[in-house]
Structure 1
Amino acid sequence: MTNTDFTLTSPLGDLASAGKPLLALTIVWHPERARIGEQFIGATGGDIVELNRFAPAFMHPGGSGLPLGHGGVSRQPLRLARDEHDGVAMTLPASAMVVEVNGQVATGSLYFSAAEVASGQVLSLGRAVVLCLHWMTRLPTLDAVPGLHGVGSAGIGVREQIRMVARTSLPVLLLGETGTGKEIAARAIHALSDRAEAPLVAVNMAALGEPLAATSLFGVAEGAQASREGLFAQADGATLFLDEIGSTPAAMQPMLLRVLEGGDYRPVGAARDRHSSARLIAASDQDLDGAAFNQALLHRLAGFVIRMPPLRARREDIGVLIVELLREQGIEAALPAALVAELAAYDWPGNVRQLAHVLQRAALILGSGATPTLAQLVRSPRPQMQAQPAPAPTQAPATEAPAARRRPSALSDGEVLEAMAANDWNIQAAAGALGISRPSLYKLLEDHPDIRRAETIPEDDIARAMSQCAGDVERCAALLRTPAEALRRRWRLLRPD
């Protein structure tokens, strides 16, 4: 078997039948920005890849193959040999080219276990080109989905699932860590559905206390208090996105189950039921299998489950994501290859959202004429991954101990304000720093004298602040003293285009 048996134009579409994943190299960074995301796909086993300036060919799906080409890459080959255990031995070239692995200079032959390859190994060549060595279980394909970018198997798999379910009426449950793009996935499902011309109605369930939840979701009938239309009525014929579904008040969960089962609900104070044809998408970063969450409701929500992969499980995508995030944020900064290599080797507890914030900080430092390092950009950088000279068990990276649990009533207003400011006005991060649950922090924020609710801030104030902050939601949130996620949702409603 040769390396050309499995290329980007190979007819093999289902790698599961091959029994083993393909060895791949993805360009994470290259002086020619258009090359970022190009890939070389090897075979399923036994082959040797010789990597130099002139070979092998890297390509985007459907494109023409080109070698790395850069003058900083040696003409002499760096050799990658896969063995019968799916480990990969790396032999350095007979040249002066500096080769770094996960941010550290390699001085001899190295060995990556199958598990280490699965976690992605970051290779820097000549301090100019950054590659990721990883497995592929799917062949690259042109399958653009709004807002979701990536060239690795995990990203391809998520996009395939979104396209598969978008045109159905199934409820969808999006699961994944904070910052993995669950709301973006929900918007993509809606955009690709038959309801795309109707609005996507979104609500954060953690922000709805029990008294407010019923009126917000189901509305209030005329003549009973001040009548109002609920979210299920607004989403009739459209899509309703329930973010942080795991924080739904317990009393509301049976009511949600009833709507899911037949579409019927009763507004507060109404004498009869109403019907909604809303298509439901829910999201959570919590374990919903516990007894605290209504399991019958969970089974109904899980008509189709999509698990959003964490960024550390898709290191090969970091270069593509950096390019896209810089474009979205209007940042023209040229990042040093050494910094990109550090970013690619970091574990990203805040995932893509944290990466976006870090790029903003990096741009500010670069704009001052300095060169940023990972330690300057993140609060607690993970120790660099270590490549082993011989097969050895991989040790889990050290992690920061979580804050000790505290009673919300013991926290002062000053502590809450300080935690929000120190964590970019991100509720999840601030709750973790304070040692309380996210719903508990929402309650503290509602009563806080110095923190504003995004929905109560006048539109002109938000527009002025967004203009002053050049569209940077986190900076705007700090200026207005309001949670960033709620502000982002409010701004999207005010400026849907």
Structure 2
Amino acid sequence: MTDQDYTLTSPLLNPHVEARPLMAVTIVWHPQQARIGEQYVAAEAGSDIELSRYAPLFWRPDGDGLPLDHVGISRHPLRLARDAVDNVVLTLPASRMLVELNGQPIEQAVRLDAKQIAQGQVLTLGRAIVLCVHWMNRLPAAHAMPGMVGVGSAAIAVREQIALVAPTDMPVLLLGETGTGKEIAARAIHALSRRRNTRLVTVNMAALNESLAMANLFGAAKGAYTGAQAERQGWFGEADGATIFLDEIGNAPASVQPMLLRVLEGGDYRPLGAARDRQATARLIAATDQQLDGTDFNQALLRRLEGFVIALPALRARREDIGVLIVHVLESQVWRGALPVDFVTALACYDWPGNIRQLVHIVKRAALQLQADPNADLRRLIPAPSLVGTAASPRAPSPPSVPVRKKPSDLNDQDVLNAMMRHAWTIQAAAQALGISRPSLYKLLERHAEIRPAHAIPVDELNVALAACEGDLTRCAAMLKTPVEPLRRQVCQLRQQDGVG
């Protein structure tokens, strides 16, 4: 049992709703970056979902619905069938589109239980679009709240709680693992409060010097201690009429905890060495990543801090939000390109022990590396030791392991051909499977006896193949034995010249 299981908080925190959740699919990555974060939510708890190029329509709360609409996605549907006990059977489409579940190619139907869906299941279709299948217990809602980015139920619930408590002066306790965004939530509460035009005074309680903690927090009279040559206001004084955020409250020195309790109970405190009390007018927000109940922490203080509790979910519990979080980070970077799909899939499947903070650091490093080298191997940015279970596991999903690097000279033509066929003629995926770099695979392809460069394929032959494959470039690439990425560029170029249908 955790603190939030039995503390006073919003009924929205852990709604004990008897109704079954709705099955939802969120776009984690799309070649059109503006589509990331769009969702399709099944109309009823028992509804199945069929995913194809043209259906269903994915929506934003404030926009129009659009299909996935990408040539790499099959016209034939991939079906997600839900049974009475919330197991979901994923049935592949009647096409050659590559389907990956949690970073692993699948070739037959897969059964997922309700717990696996709750942890988010990552689908990568045609090496082009990344989706997350998950539950929703509330309808999608816009996230116009400073810093609080997310489209899933967990993110929406946190924003609802912030909007509810922000206009009040109630003390708020933010709970959550390190890196889940507790300070961002505190800033959002302050920004939506009546005190928004005042300061937010932030204090890291873990960094307080125990001997000076009382003076730092509550101020001190002149001469109250050695070196106190003038009166000291203290952080509570600085936050008069404003908001004070006590981060890492679980590390508050034991000596200051009774005074914090006094502030919350009576609204007054006495600076160190002062002759009279002062009235505290600061609104208090605290945060911790610790379970404080039953510990040495002052339990009466804990009960006072729990005026309103908001639990921030771990990133692994809101996998559907990873795409919009990536976009949010990239908006602040100089580099403006698109991340490789295989890297985004790996990000969506990772377990994130450091939560959002860790994701932000890795995405920023990826942007820097791509700015310097467009062919950089970004998968090495993701720490391997924290990768988690496979698609068949009830635990959270994971990407495939990174293969051992090989020398291109160790590979023959059949090795290369087999890798391209197994990975839907996608160069990046085949290179990873072979354990070589993408530039090395390009060189092997150039001198391969059977694999043809897209620009060398006659236009008439290309038109015949496109018609036979109904415009599906993945199937077309397999028919023509050519990599799908150059083929896509060639088709686009010829269409601009009206040379291909």
1:236-275 aligned at under 5 Å gives the runs 236-275=240-279
Equivalent residue number for residue 347 of structure 2: 343
Q: Is the alpha carbon distance of 1:374 and 1:104 closer, same or farther for their aligned partners in structure 2, counting shifts above 3 Å?
A: farther
Equivalent residue number for residue 300 of structure 1: 304
For the 8 Å contact 1:15–1:21, the answer to whether it is kept is: no
Equivalent residue number for residue 218 of structure 1: 218
Equivalent residue number for residue 133 of structure 2: 133
Distance 2:336 2:368 in 1: 11
Aligned-pair Cα RMSD in Å = 1.9
For the 8 Å contact 1:288–1:298, the answer to whether it is kept is: yes
Please say which structure displays the higher CA radius of gyration.
Answer: 2
Q: Deviations over 1:44-67 (max 9, x none)?
A: 433321110000000100311110
Equivalent residue number for residue 114 of structure 2: 114
Match of 1:357 among 354, 361, 367: 361
Q: Is the alpha carbon distance of 1:262 and 1:330 closer, same or farther for their aligned partners in structure 2, counting shifts above 3 Å?
A: farther
Distance 2:64 2:384 in 1: 41
Aligned pair 1:209/2:213, yes or no?
no
Q: Deviations over 1:354-383 (max 9, x none)?
A: 011101221222123254556411333544
Aligned pair 1:176/2:180, yes or no?
no
Task: Measure how far apart 1:96 and its partner are.
Answer: 1.0
Q: Is the alpha carbon distance of 1:372 and 1:18 closer, same or farther for their aligned partners in structure 2, counting shifts above 3 Å?
A: farther
Q: Is the alpha carbon distance of 1:373 and 1:305 closer, same or farther for their aligned partners in structure 2, counting shifts above 3 Å?
A: farther
3-state SS of 1:184 partner: helix
For the 8 Å contact 2:239–2:282, the answer to whether it is kept is: yes
Q: Is the alpha carbon distance of 1:53 and 1:396 closer, same or farther for their aligned partners in structure 2, counting shifts above 3 Å?
A: closer
2:34 is aligned with what amino acid? Answer: A
Aligned pair 1:37/2:37, yes or no?
yes
Aligned pair 1:85/2:85, yes or no?
yes
Q: Deviations over 1:385-424 (max 9, x none)?
A: 4223xxxx625789xxxxxxxxxxxxxxxxxxxxxxxxxx
3-state SS of 1:134 partner: strand
Task: Measure how far apart 1:210 and its partner are.
Answer: 1.3
Between 192-201 and 42-51, the greater mean CA deviation after superposition? 42-51
Q: Deviations over 1:276-333 (max 9, x none)?
A: 1100000000111132100000000010000010100000000000000111344423
Distance 1:146 1:236 in 2: 24
Q: Deviations over 1:1-58 (max 9, x none)?
A: xxxxxxxxxxxxx997661000000000000011000000014433321110000000
Q: Deviations over 1:113-169 (max 9, x none)?
A: 000000000000000000000000110112421111000000000000000000001
Equivalent residue number for residue 495 of structure 1: none
Aligned pair 1:334/2:335, yes or no?
no
3-state SS of 2:256 partner: helix
Between 22-31 and 61-70, the greater mean CA deviation after superposition? 61-70
Equivalent residue number for residue 329 of structure 2: 325
For the 8 Å contact 2:343–2:379, the answer to whether it is kept is: no
1:133 is aligned with what amino acid? Answer: V
Q: Is the alpha carbon distance of 1:373 and 1:138 closer, same or farther for their aligned partners in structure 2, counting shifts above 3 Å?
A: farther
3-state SS of 2:271 partner: coil
2:125 is aligned with what amino acid? Answer: L
Query: Larger relative CO (CA 8 A, sep 6+): 1 or 2?
Result: 2
For the 8 Å contact 2:388–2:395, the answer to whether it is kept is: no
Equivalent residue number for residue 61 of structure 1: 61
Task: Measure how far apart 1:213 and its partner are.
Answer: 0.6
Equivalent residue number for residue 160 of structure 2: 160
Equivalent residue number for residue 429 of structure 2: none
Aligned pair 1:25/2:22, yes or no?
no
1:334 is aligned with what amino acid? Answer: A
For the 8 Å contact 2:102–2:397, the answer to whether it is kept is: no
For the 8 Å contact 2:119–2:396, the answer to whether it is kept is: no
Q: Is the alpha carbon distance of 1:374 and 1:297 closer, same or farther for their aligned partners in structure 2, counting shifts above 3 Å?
A: farther
1:190 is aligned with what amino acid? Answer: H
For the 8 Å contact 1:91–1:109, the answer to whether it is kept is: yes
For the 8 Å contact 2:346–2:379, the answer to whether it is kept is: no
Q: Deviations over 1:81-130 (max 9, x none)?
A: 00011010001011111000110101110011000000000000000000
Task: Measure how far apart 1:334 and its partner are.
Answer: 1.5
3-state SS of 1:132 partner: strand
Q: How many pairs align?
A: 381
Aligned pair 1:149/2:153, yes or no?
no
Distance 1:395 1:340 in 2: 20
Q: TM-score, normalised by structure 1?
A: 0.74
Aligned pair 1:234/2:247, yes or no?
no
3-state SS of 1:242 partner: strand
Q: Is the alpha carbon distance of 1:192 and 1:88 closer, same or farther for their aligned partners in structure 2, counting shifts above 3 Å?
A: same
Q: Is the alpha carbon distance of 1:22 and 1:395 closer, same or farther for their aligned partners in structure 2, counting shifts above 3 Å?
A: closer
1:92 is aligned with what amino acid? Answer: L
Equivalent residue number for residue 469 of structure 2: none
Q: Is the alpha carbon distance of 1:381 and 1:73 closer, same or farther for their aligned partners in structure 2, counting shifts above 3 Å?
A: farther
Distance 2:104 2:325 in 1: 23
For the 8 Å contact 1:375–1:381, the answer to whether it is kept is: no
Equivalent residue number for residue 46 of structure 2: 46
Distance 1:88 1:56 in 2: 18
3-state SS of 1:250 partner: coil
Task: Measure how far apart 1:185 and its partner are.
Answer: 0.3
Q: Is the alpha carbon distance of 1:116 and 1:294 closer, same or farther for their aligned partners in structure 2, counting shifts above 3 Å?
A: same
Equivalent residue number for residue 72 of structure 2: 72
3-state SS of 1:309 partner: coil
Distance 1:315 1:17 in 2: 22
**Runs of 5+ consecutive residues of structure 1 not aligned to the other structure:** 1-13, 399-497
